[in-house]
């Protein structure tokens, strides 16, 4: 079964509004989660590393004021797209490690459409 | 910094034939290598990984991959393709020397298996 749960799976919002996406680890705790954005032509871009109890680490070119990440507990990380614009429309995916096995477990993804 | 190249946007193969999806990588430390599969509008699923040990690793659904250090490659293979293997495949790398779990993905290769 799923080990990482992501919600909502789809969201449509108006331009200028903010949208929050949640990512939960099920039955295990993590200090680090990763947020990816997938563009229409397939590529998966790492946006940021979410760190429990401290600030997220953003990749170069990702606006931290635009994409707010909060890792408030050992099982929950949230990504808030602030003042959304149509160009923010994309598929956002979170992931986490369980233990030290190396591979990532992914949420089901959230498709954001900004009108 | 690590990077991954998947030179083929798309691979077409007939059902029952062997398939290969290519991947080359660049990492300054020890490479931890992964393959993931993605079905439409879903998150990614782990297929297999190379951390250490035998260069040939076997994973889910009959897939295998061979780590080649001299060629910095980690090609995904399957002896006999199924129509249900049609999906998007991602190769990924992590630098085993730096610690943490930051993982970088290739652009993805879409596999079409024709009946």
pLDDT digits (tens, 9 = 90+) for A40-93: 766 789 999 998 888 999 999 999 999 999 998 889 999 999 999 999 999 999
The secondary structure of chain B in percent helix, strand, coil, rounded to multiples of 5, reads 5, 50, 45
Question: How much is the pLDDT for A101?
Answer: 64
**Residue A82 DSSP SS3:** coil
Asked whether the beta carbons of residue B101 and residue A42 sit closer than 8 angstroms, the reply is: no
Enumerate the residues of chain A whose CB falls inside 8 A of the CB of residue B89. Answer: none
**pLDDT above 80 for B97:** no
Question: How much is the pLDDT for A6?
Answer: 95
**Residue A48 DSSP SS3:** strand
Instruction: Place B95 in a pLDDT band, splitting at 50, 70 and 90.
Output: confident
pLDDT in tens, B64-80: 999 999 999 999 999 99
Nearest chain B residue (CA) to A94: B43
Cβ of residue A3 closer than 8 Å to a chain B Cβ: no
A residues 51..90 contacting B (CB < 8 A):
none
Nearest chain B residue (CA) to A6: B43
Question: How much is the pLDDT for B94?
Answer: 87
């Amino acid at each position: 079964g799923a080990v990482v749960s992501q919600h909502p799976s789809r969201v449509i919002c108006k331009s200028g509004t903010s949208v929050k996406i949640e990512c939960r680890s099920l039955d295990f705790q993590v200090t680090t989660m990763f947020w990816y954005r997938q563009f229409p032509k397939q590529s998966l871009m790492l946006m940021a590393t979410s760190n429990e109890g401290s600030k997220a680490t953003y990749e170069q070119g990702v606006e931290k004021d635009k994409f707010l990440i909060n890792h408030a507990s050992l099982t929950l990380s949230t990504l808030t797209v602030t003042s959304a614009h149509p160009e923010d429309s994309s598929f956002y995916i979170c992931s986490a490690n369980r233990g030290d096995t190396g591979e990532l477990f992914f949420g089901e993804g959230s498709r954001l459409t900004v009108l | 910094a690590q990077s991954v190249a998947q030179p083929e946007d798309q691979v077409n193969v007939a059902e029952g034939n062997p398939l290969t999806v290519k991947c080359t990588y660049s990492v300054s430390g020890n490479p931890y290598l992964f393959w993931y599969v993605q079905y439409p509008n879903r998150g990614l699923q782990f297929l297999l990984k190379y951390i250490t040990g035998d260069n040939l690793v076997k994973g889910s659904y009959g897939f295998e991959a061979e780590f080649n250090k001299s060629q910095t490659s980690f090609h995904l293979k399957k002896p006999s393709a199924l129509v249900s293997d049609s999906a998007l495949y991602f190769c990924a790398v992590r630098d085993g020397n730096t610690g943490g779990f930051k993982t970088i993905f290739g652009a993805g290769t879409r596999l079409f298996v024709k009946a």
